[in-house]
Amino acid sequence: MFTERSGLPLSIGISGANTHDNQALIPLVKGIPPTRSRRGPRRRRPHKLHADHGYDYSHLRRWLACRGIRHRIARKGIGTSQRLSRHRGTIERTMAWLAGCRRLHRRYERKASHFLAFTSIACTLICYRRLTK
């Protein structure tokens, strides 16, 4: 899941349980829809990306740099992710909002497309509730 700073989901994806996180980063970043801005053209990519140790790979860093996305990825074995922990709270809150949906708490659907559809509906409801406050 790729969220904005306040925790609203921008891009979601599902994968198998044994798939590593680094394989999901590129499709999630490509899946971000263009957003309108008050001035200028639509923004097609984020300015900055925060990630934890699971995304610390040189090919991902190069891919983000080629697209002009500044990355804050915690390095393996060099330091702790204390600075990233303040951004991690928004992701955990969004995941808790999704866990509140009873249908998504346990995967009942056999087809991945059905589960992705229910996840998309849940994200739409999260955005609607958050934006109407």
**Residue 80: what pLDDT?**
57
Structural domain of 30: 2-131
Q: What average pLDDT does the segment 23-27 reach?
A: 86
Could you give the CA distance from residue 1 to residue 104 in angstroms, rounded to a whole number?
A: 14
Give the burial class of 32: count Cβ atoms within 10 A of its Cβ; 0-12 exposed, 13-18 middle, 19 or more buried. middle
CATH number for the domain harbouring residue 33: 3.30.420
**Residue 85: what pLDDT?**
65
pLDDT tens figures, 79-89: 555 565 666 67
| Model pTM above 0.85 | no
- Percent of the chain residues topping a pLDDT of 90: 6
Residues 7, 93: contact at Cβ < 8 Å?
yes
Per the structure, the count of domains in the chain is: 1
